[in-house]
Structure 1
Amino acid sequence: MKKAITLLFLFLSFQLSAQIQLKVLDSDSKQPLENVRVKAKGGQILQTNDEGKVEIQSTESTLISFAKEGYESQEKTFSPGEYEVYLDPVSMSLSTITVSAFETERQLLEQSASIALVSERDFNRFNETSIVNSFNTKPGIRIEERAPASYRISIRGSSLRAPFGVRNVKVYWNDVPFTSPDGTTALNLLDLTNIRTAEIIKGPSGSIYGAGNGGVVNLESKSDPIGGRLSTDFMTGSFGLSRFRLGLSQKVGNGGFDASYVQQKSDGYREQSAMDRKVFQLGGFFPVSEKQEIRTQLLISDLNYQIPGALNADQLAEDPKQARPGSVAQNSSISQQSVFASFSQVYKFSEQIKNNTVLYLNTNDFENPFNLDYKKELGFGFGGRSKFTFDTELGGKALRIIAGGEYQTSFTDAQNFGNRGGVADTVRFADKLRATQGFLFQQAEWQGSEKLLVTLGLSENFSSFEIDRQIDASGGPLGLQKRKFDPILVPRLAFNYQLNVSSSIFSSLSSGFSPPTIDEVRTNEGSLNLDLEAEKGLNTELGYRLGKDRLNFEATAFYFQLKQTITTYTNSQGVVLFRNAGSTDQKGIELALDYVLIQNQTGFVKDLKLGTAFTGHYFKFKDYQKRDDDFSGNDLTGVAPNTLVSRIDLRTAPGIYINFTHQFTDEIPLNDANTIFQDSYNLVNLRFGWAKWIGKAWELEAFGGIDNLLDESYSLGNDLNPFGGRYYQPAPTRNWYGGLKVAFNY
C-alpha cells in the first residue's frame, strides 16, 4: 500500500513538473485577462480561463506566444513551472514608443529630431487604398494624389519642385534605399499591404541619409511571424473600386516567412483616371545564430494608371469629371512593371559592436504616353547600405558611434517618341542614362549626463549623372554629356534634454542639399539644362515632447533657409521646365496632441481617443527675380499656411468601432505671383465597422466608410505655374467603400 501511494505521489509530482502553468494579467490594472490566445511552439492554440490561467504540457523550455485584441503581442520562452505574464495595452505613449531615426533605436522622448510615426492603426482608420489620409493626419506632412496612384509628397513644403512624382524626399523600405539614385521615388509601386509602419523625419537629414532637403520616410513591412496566419480581404466602393488581398505568415524554426498578393482596381472619379495595380511580396527572416540574422525581400509590382490632366477654371466649372482635352485621345497614362529584391544581414561581433548591411537589385520597365509625347524607359539598378554601431564610453559616459556608407547606381535606356492616338510614333530623341550617388556617414551620440544626449553627425556626399544622346531627330548634338556635382559635407548638431521621465526638449542645427534629378535636367521636349544647381538648405529646430499616462503632446518650431531653390514653370507647349530661383525663408510651427479619454479593456467602451494636429507653415520667397517680375516676399507656391486635423476613435467591447477625421486646409497659392489661390476646404472622413476574434483562431472584420462626407469641391494636388491656367486636379466628391477581412491563426 505504501509503495502504491509513493508511486502515485511520484507520478503526480512528475505531471506537475511537466507543466507550464501561466497566469496572464493586464500590466496596468493587474487584473486577470480572459480569452488570451496562447500558443506553444508546434502546439495548438489555447485560451486563458476567467482567472487568466492556462496550462501547457511540456518537459522542456518552450517558446510561447500571447495575443489578445487591444494588447501588444508577446513571445517568450518558459521552462516547466508557474509564471505570471503581463500584457501591455496597445499604447502610443511617447514614453514607450521606440523609433530608429538617425540609425539609432531610442524612445521617442530621447530623439533629438522632429519625427512623425504612422502606425498600422493609423492606416486602418481609413479605406486602406493608399497612404494619403493616414500621412496627412500628421503635422508638417502632406501627400497629394493628383489621380489614383499618382503621389506627391510634401514635407514642410518640399513639393515645390515636384510637379509629379516623389522628389526631394529620401525613402527607405525595410532599411533598403527605395529612392532611385536619380532622386525620384516610385512610391506608387507599393500597396498599403507592404507597409506596417512609417517613421517620417521632417527636415534635412543629410548627415546620415544623404540627398534631400524635404526629409526621410522609413517604411517597414517586416514582422517576425508568431505561429501561422492565413488571411484575406475584399473591399469594394464608389467609382468602380475593388481590392482583393491574400496573405500568409508562417513561422519556420526560429524564423519564418510572410507572403502577400494584392490587386486593386478602380475606374476613377474623373474621365481617364482608371487604375490597376498588382503587387506580390515575399519576405524571409532567418536567425542563423545568436550573433547573425538574415532577412530577404522580393517585391514584384505591376502598375497601370491613367492621367486625366489638369483643368482650367472654366473647364472645372463646366464639368470637374472631364479630362484635360487630348488626354483621352492620346491615352495619357503610365504603365510600370518593377522587380525589387533585397538581402540584409545583422551581425553582432560582440555586445558593443554590430553591423547591419543591406544590398538590393531592381529592374524597371516604364511606358508613358502623354498628350505631347510618348516615353519609354527600360532600366535596372543596384546598391546597398552598411553601418557599424559601436557602444563604448567617453569620460565615464555612454558613447555610441555609428559609421557607414551608401552607394547606388542605375542604368536606363530612355526613348521619347511622338504620340499618335496613344501609339508611339517616330522617335524624337533617345539617350542612355546613368545616375550615381553615394556618401559616407559618421555619427557620435554622447550621454553627457543622465538627462543630456548630444549628437554630432557628418556625411560626405557625391553624385553624378551621364546622358549619352544616341538619337536627336531635331539635329541637335549627339554624344556623352556628364554632370558631376562637387563633394558636399553635410553636418548636424543636436541635443536632447530630459526634463523628467515623461518630458524632454530637443534642438538641432542641420544642413541639407538636393541635386536636380535627371528628369529635371532632361525634359520631355529634349533640351538639357546642365547648368541647374543643387539646392542647399540650413535648418534650425527647437521642440518639446510630453508623454504621460494617456496624454501625448509635441510642439516644434523651425526655421529653414533654402538657397538655389528649384522651381517650375511651363512653356507654351505645356512642357514643365525647371530653374533655380534665388532663396526662400521657411518658418513654421507644428503641434500634435493625443489624449486617451477612456481606456478600459473590461468595460463596454474599451477606448475613446481624441487627437489634433496643427501645421503653421509661413514660407516666403526671400530673393526671387523672374525676368521683369520680382516675387521676393511672396508666399511660397503650393503651400497652405495653416492646416488643422482632428480625430476621434471609439472602440467597444462588442467589437464595434468608429473613426472620425476632420481636416481643414487653408487657401493655397498656385502661382509665384500669388494671384491665383485654391480656396480653403474642410475634408471629413468616416470609417466604422465590427472586428472580433471568434474562438481561438478566427479573426473577422466587417467595415465601411465615407470619404469627403461634406461633398467638398477641392483639388488634392494642383499644378503650379501651369500654362493656360490649368491649375486644377479635381478630387473625388462624396464616396463610399465597404469590405470584409478574414484571418485564420493556426
Structure 2
Amino acid sequence: MTKYFTLFLIFVCFAANAQIQITVIDAKTQNPLNNVLVRPETGKAQITNTSGILAFSGSEDKNFTFFKSGYEAFSAKFGAGEHIVKLIEKSFNLSEVTVTAFESERPLLEQSAAIAVVSEQDFSRFNETSIVNSFNTKPGIRIEERAPASYRISIRGSSLRSPFGVRNVKVYWNEVPFTSPDGTTALNLLDLSNIRNAEVIKGPSGSIYGAGNGGVINLYSPANPIGGRISADFMVGDFGMTRYKLGLSQQVGNGGFEASFVSQKADGYREHAAMDRQVFQLGGFFSVSDKQEIRTQLLISDLNYQIPGALNADQLAEDPTQARPGSVNQNSSISQQSVFASLGHLYRFSPKIKNSTTLYLNTNDFENPFILDYKKELGFGFGGRTKFTFDGKLAGKDLRIIAGGEYQTSITDAQNFGNVNGVADTVRFADKLRATQGFLFQQAEWDLMENFMLTFALSENFSSLEIDRQINASGGQTGLQERKFDPIVVPRFALNYQFNDYSGAYGSISSGFSPPTIDEVRTNEGSLNLDLEAEKGVNYEVGYRIGKGKLNLDLTAFYFKLEQTITTYTNSQGVVLFRNAGYTDQKGIEAAIDYALIRNGVTFIRDLKIGTAFTGNYFKFKDYQKKDNDFSGNDLTGVSPNTLVTRLDLRTKPGVYLNLTHQFVDEIPLNDANTVYQDAYNLVNMRFGWARSFAGKWELEAFAGVDNLLDESYSLGNDLNPFGGRYYQPAPTRNWYGGVKVAFLY
C-alpha cells in the first residue's frame, strides 16, 4: 500500500510540474531566435529569451503559433516535453522565392521570364504613401507620379500612350482583373495597405493575360490571418501630409477575415496639388473542406486630387511650386468613388486536377473638371477569370497543362461639358460607352529532361469598343459607332535550363498586342479616332539567375520590336490626341545584384544587405514620319537610357534599422524631335526607425525618414510632346516624415 501511495505522490508532483518547453531556432543557421512571439490556442502568449527558449505549464496537447519579423509564420501542436521549432526566414535567395507568374506556381529560378518581386520589405523601406519608390528600385520598371495619386507606369518602355493614367499594363488584384476592359487601370484607388506583395512580369505576356505589350502586375492582399490582431498606424510629413490606418484581422476556424480603413491627405508641394483618399477593404478566406476554398474581397475607395498641370521652362524657373495658369480657376481635379467586389473559388478535383475561378463586379463615379472642359462618367463593369490546372506525365516526364478564359465588359454614361470657373456648364457631347474584351488561353510546361523545361502557350483574343453618341452640340454625327478588332492569336515559347539547385538560364519568344483605349479613341474635344490601330509586338529575351547563400544575381537582355506604335501630340487648344507611328526598335539589358554582408547575425548587427539594379533602355524610332519631319532613328520619347539604383539595409539587435536608397536617372528626351530633355538627376531617400515586440502581445514601431535628401530639382513624370512647351511637372524638394505603428495580438 505504501508503494502505491508513493507512486501516486510522484505522479501528482510530475503532473503539477509538467510543462511544454519549446526552443526556437533558425532553420538554416540553427542559431537560437529571441523575441519570437509564441501564442497558444488558450492562455497568455510569451516571447522567447536570448536562448530561444520558453515554457508553458500543463501537459495537454495545444496548438501554438509562432511569429517573428522576417520569418514565415508557423503553427503546430505540442504536448508535455521538450520540442524544437525551426523557423524559416522569408525568402532572400532567388532559389527560394516562389512566384505564381503565368498561372504556374514555381520557384523563380524555374520561371522562363523576367519577373520582379516587390515584397513587404520593399514597401516598408519608404514612406508607405504610394507604390512609386518601392517599384522603382526594380530594373525595367518606372512608375511616375506627376501629382499626388496621379500615376503612370512604364515597364520596359515609354509613357507615350499615357499622358495621364495607367495604360498598356495589365493589373490583377488577388487574381481578379483590376484593369478595366477599355484598357485603363485606376491603380490610385488602392492604398499600399491593400497590397502585401507584387509580381511584375516584364514584356509581352498575352499568352496568359490577354492584351498588353507593357507587362503584367499581379498584386496580392495581406495573407490569411493567424489568430487575432488589431493595429493602428499614424504618420505625418511635410507639405501637409497625414495618414492613418486602422486594421483588424481575425482567424475563424481554418479561415478568417481582415478589415482595414486608411485615410491619407496632403496639401502637396505645388499650388493646387492637394489629395484626399479614404479606402476601406474587407477580405475573407474560408476553407470549406480539403477540396474547396473561398476568398472574398470588398474595396470601397473615395479619391479626390487636384491637378496642378505642367509648366514651361520660364514658369519653372520663376516658381516651380506654381500651378499651370488656369488650373486653379477651372478647378482642374479628379473626384472618383468606386466599389470593387470579388468572389473566388478553388476546387481540387483530385491531386492532379484543380480549378480556380474568380468573378468581380465594380462601379465607378468619375468627375474631372479640366482647364478645357468638364467630364462626368458613371459606369459599372463585371467579368471573371477561370483556369484549370492538370499535373501529370508525358513520356514519363512531368507535364503541367493550364487552360482557361477571361471575360470583361463595362458600360459607362459619359458626358463632357463646358467648364466655367470649375462648374459644369452646357453639355458639349454625351455618349453611352461599352468596352468588351475576352480571351481563351492554354499553356503546357513539359520537363523534356532533367533540369530542362519547355513552355508553349497561346491565347485567342477579341475586343470591341462601342460609342453611342447621344448629344453632339457642335452638330456633328450622333448614333452608334463601333470598332471590333480582328481576333488575334498570341503565342509564347520558352526554354528553361537549371545548371544546379541555385542557378539557371532561360530564353523566350513572346508576342503581344494592345488595342487603343476608349480615352485614346474618344478625345476631350469630341472627335472619334476609330481608325487607330492596335499595337503589336514581338519580344526576344534571354536571362540568367543565381541564388546561392548570400548572393542573388538576375541578368536579362531583350529585343522588342513594336509595330503601329501609338504616340501622342497636342493640338493648338491643348488637347492630347493619338496616332500610330510606324514601329520602334527596343533593345535593353537589366541587372539586379543583392548581397547579404551579414544575415541573421548574433552580434549587434543582425542584418546588413546591399543591392543594386541597373536598367539600360536603348530604344529608337525606326520608322516615324510626322508631316515633313522624319524622326526615324531618334531616341524613344520619355525613356531614360540608363537608370541605376543602389540600396543599403541595416537591422540591429535592439531593433534599430536603417534603409538608404540612391537612384540615378539619366537624361530623358521629352519630345519626338529629341530637342528637349529632362536633365539627369540623383534621388536619395532614407528611412530609419525602431521596432520591437513586448509582453508577447504588443508590437511597436517608431520611424522617420527623408525623401529627396539632396534637394534635387526634377520631375517625376513629364508631359511629352506638349503644346506651348509645357513639359515640366516639378516633384517635391527635400521633405521629412515620421510616424508610429502599434499592434495588439490577442
Q: Which residue of 2 aligns with 1:111?
A: 111
Distance 2:122 2:84 in 1: 32
Q: TM-score, normalised by structure 2?
A: 0.98
- Which secondary structure does the structure 2 equivalent of 1:448 belong to? strand
- TM-superposed CA distance for 1:622, in Å, is 0.8
- TM-superposed CA distance for 1:52, in Å, is 2.9
Q: Which residue of 2 aligns with 1:582?
A: 582
- TM-superposed CA distance for 1:71, in Å, is 2.7
Q: Which residue of 2 aligns with 1:6?
A: 7
- Which secondary structure does the structure 2 equivalent of 1:160 belong to? coil
AA of the residue aligned to 1:513: F
Number of equivalenced pairs: 745
Q: Which residue of 2 aligns with 1:641?
A: 641
Q: Which residue of 2 aligns with 1:660?
A: 660
Q: Which residue of 2 aligns with 1:193?
A: 193
- Which secondary structure does the structure 1 equivalent of 2:6 belong to? helix
Q: Which residue of 2 aligns with 1:548?
A: 548
1:248-290 residue CA offsets vs partner (Å, 9 max, x unmatched):
1111111111110010000000011000000000111111111
Distance 1:738 1:49 in 2: 31
| Superposed counterparts of 1:648-687, under 5 Å | 648-687=648-687
Q: Which residue of 2 aligns with 1:217?
A: 217
Structure 1 residues 449 and 442, CA, compared in 2 at 3 Å: closer, same or farther? same
Q: Which residue of 2 aligns with 1:572?
A: 572
1:298-329 residue CA offsets vs partner (Å, 9 max, x unmatched):
00000000000001111111111111110000
1:502-539 residue CA offsets vs partner (Å, 9 max, x unmatched):
10001110000000000100000000000000000000
Whether the 8 Å CA contact 2:158–2:636 is kept in 1: the answer is no
- TM-superposed CA distance for 1:58, in Å, is 6.8
Distance 2:225 2:669 in 1: 48
Whether the 8 Å CA contact 1:70–1:601 is kept in 2: the answer is no
Structure 1 residues 450 and 5, CA, compared in 2 at 3 Å: closer, same or farther? farther
- TM-superposed CA distance for 1:22, in Å, is 2.7
- Which secondary structure does the structure 2 equivalent of 1:212 belong to? coil
1:615-651 residue CA offsets vs partner (Å, 9 max, x unmatched):
0000000111111111111000000000000011111
Whether the 8 Å CA contact 1:158–1:214 is kept in 2: the answer is no
- TM-superposed CA distance for 1:60, in Å, is 6.4
Whether the 8 Å CA contact 1:552–1:595 is kept in 2: the answer is yes
- TM-superposed CA distance for 1:699, in Å, is 1.0
Q: Which residue of 1 aligns with 2:523?
A: 523
Whether the 8 Å CA contact 2:46–2:695 is kept in 1: the answer is no
AA of the residue aligned to 1:207: S
1:472-509 residue CA offsets vs partner (Å, 9 max, x unmatched):
00001111111111111000001110111110001110
1:563 and 2:563 matched: yes
Q: Which residue of 1 aligns with 2:326?
A: 326
1:86 and 2:86 matched: yes
Q: Compare 50-59 and 435-444 and name the one that shifted more.
A: 50-59
Whether the 8 Å CA contact 2:158–2:637 is kept in 1: the answer is no
Whether the 8 Å CA contact 1:455–1:494 is kept in 2: the answer is yes
Q: Which residue of 2 aligns with 1:287?
A: 287
- TM-superposed CA distance for 1:61, in Å, is 5.6
- TM-superposed CA distance for 1:226, in Å, is 1.4
Structure 1 residues 313 and 386, CA, compared in 2 at 3 Å: closer, same or farther? same
Q: Which residue of 2 aligns with 1:451?
A: 451
Q: Which residue of 2 aligns with 1:249?
A: 249
Distance 1:11 1:361 in 2: 62
- TM-superposed CA distance for 1:78, in Å, is 4.3
Q: Which residue of 2 aligns with 1:297?
A: 297
Q: Which residue of 1 aligns with 2:626?
A: 626
1:162-210 residue CA offsets vs partner (Å, 9 max, x unmatched):
1100000000001110000000000000011111101000000000000
Whether the 8 Å CA contact 1:553–1:592 is kept in 2: the answer is yes
Q: Compare 257-266 and 35-44 and name the one that shifted more.
A: 35-44
Q: Which residue of 1 aligns with 2:27?
A: 27
Q: Which residue of 2 aligns with 1:700?
A: 700
AA of the residue aligned to 1:6: L
- Which secondary structure does the structure 2 equivalent of 1:5 belong to? helix
Distance 2:216 2:458 in 1: 16
Q: Which residue of 2 aligns with 1:461?
A: 461
- TM-superposed CA distance for 1:64, in Å, is 2.1
> What percent of counterpart residues are identical?
74
AA of the residue aligned to 2:74: Q
AA of the residue aligned to 1:703: F
Distance 2:347 2:82 in 1: 35
Q: Which residue of 2 aligns with 1:729?
A: 729
Distance 2:237 2:473 in 1: 47
Whether the 8 Å CA contact 1:308–1:324 is kept in 2: the answer is yes
Q: Compare 687-696 and 637-646 and name the one that shifted more.
A: 687-696
- Which secondary structure does the structure 2 equivalent of 1:591 belong to? strand
Q: Which residue of 2 aligns with 1:407?
A: 407
Distance 1:721 1:60 in 2: 73
AA of the residue aligned to 1:181: P
AA of the residue aligned to 1:7: F
- TM-superposed CA distance for 1:82, in Å, is 4.4
Whether the 8 Å CA contact 2:564–2:580 is kept in 1: the answer is yes
Q: Compare 442-451 and 394-403 and name the one that shifted more.
A: 442-451
Structure 1 residues 655 and 55, CA, compared in 2 at 3 Å: closer, same or farther? closer
Q: Which residue of 1 aligns with 2:512?
A: 512
- TM-superposed CA distance for 1:73, in Å, is 2.0
Distance 2:523 2:34 in 1: 63
1:300-359 residue CA offsets vs partner (Å, 9 max, x unmatched):
000000000001111111111111110000000000000000110111111101111111
- TM-superposed CA distance for 1:386, in Å, is 0.5
Structure 1 residues 62 and 396, CA, compared in 2 at 3 Å: closer, same or farther? farther
Q: Which residue of 2 aligns with 1:356?
A: 356
Whether the 8 Å CA contact 1:114–1:556 is kept in 2: the answer is yes
- Which secondary structure does the structure 2 equivalent of 1:159 belong to? coil
- TM-superposed CA distance for 1:158, in Å, is 4.1
- TM-superposed CA distance for 1:13, in Å, is 6.8
Distance 2:435 2:43 in 1: 52
Distance 1:378 1:279 in 2: 19
- TM-superposed CA distance for 1:146, in Å, is 0.5
1:145 and 2:145 matched: yes
- TM-superposed CA distance for 1:364, in Å, is 0.2
- Which secondary structure does the structure 1 equivalent of 2:598 belong to? strand
> CA RMSD, aligned part only?
1.4
Distance 1:57 1:736 in 2: 48
- TM-superposed CA distance for 1:65, in Å, is 1.1
**Unpaired stretches in structure 2, ≥5 consecutive residues:** none
AA of the residue aligned to 1:646: T
Distance 2:61 2:366 in 1: 53
Distance 1:528 1:29 in 2: 64
- Which secondary structure does the structure 2 equivalent of 1:137 belong to? coil
Whether the 8 Å CA contact 2:98–2:106 is kept in 1: the answer is yes
Whether the 8 Å CA contact 1:342–1:361 is kept in 2: the answer is yes
Distance 1:418 1:97 in 2: 53
- TM-superposed CA distance for 1:72, in Å, is 2.6
Q: Which residue of 2 aligns with 1:99?
A: 99
Distance 1:589 1:15 in 2: 67
Whether the 8 Å CA contact 2:235–2:740 is kept in 1: the answer is yes
Distance 1:51 1:682 in 2: 45
Whether the 8 Å CA contact 1:174–1:222 is kept in 2: the answer is no
AA of the residue aligned to 1:169: V
- Which secondary structure does the structure 1 equivalent of 2:327 belong to? coil
- TM-superposed CA distance for 1:47, in Å, is 2.6
Q: TM-score, normalised by structure 1?
A: 0.98
Q: Which residue of 2 aligns with 1:709?
A: 709
- TM-superposed CA distance for 1:24, in Å, is 1.5
Whether the 8 Å CA contact 1:158–1:168 is kept in 2: the answer is no
AA of the residue aligned to 1:247: G
Distance 1:649 1:368 in 2: 41
- TM-superposed CA distance for 1:30, in Å, is 1.5
Whether the 8 Å CA contact 1:222–1:283 is kept in 2: the answer is no
Distance 1:333 1:618 in 2: 35
Distance 1:337 1:638 in 2: 31
- TM-superposed CA distance for 1:693, in Å, is 1.2
Whether the 8 Å CA contact 1:117–1:200 is kept in 2: the answer is yes
